[in-house]
Amino acid sequence: GAGCGGGKMAAGGAADAQARFGHSVKGLLTEKVTSCGTDVIALTKQVLKGSRSAELLGQAARNMVMQEDAILHSEDSLRKMAIITTHLQYQ
């Protein structure tokens, strides 16, 4: 009878060890998943920051082109005004 009881205890101990192992594995997995999630969030933020700066650079380039057009237009107007002024001085 005592032998049977011992067997149960050993089985119980093994189940206990298995449960503890399961918990530690679960804990490690949770830790890894959390750390991985944090890395993914950091990476996403970095990618978004990169695309945001690319967007800002594009906007700056467009603004420069618009400024350049305005400057050329002003230059053209000044040239025309200079011609008109010269004509008026002759009259």
Give the model's pLDDT for residue 24: 83
- Dihedral sign for Cα atoms in the order 52, 53, 57, 59: positive
- Summarised one tens digit per residue, pLDDT across range 8-22 is 555 667 778 787 887
User: Domain ranges in the chain?
Assistant: 9-50, 51-90
Tokens of 7: 């067997």
How big is the CA angle at 28 (ends 37 and 12), to the nearest 5 degrees? 145
DSSP secondary structure letter of residue 1: -
81: left (phi over 0), alpha (psi -120 to 50) or beta: alpha
- Summarised one tens digit per residue, pLDDT across range 36-78 is 888 989 988 888 888 888 888 899 999 999 999 999 999 999 9
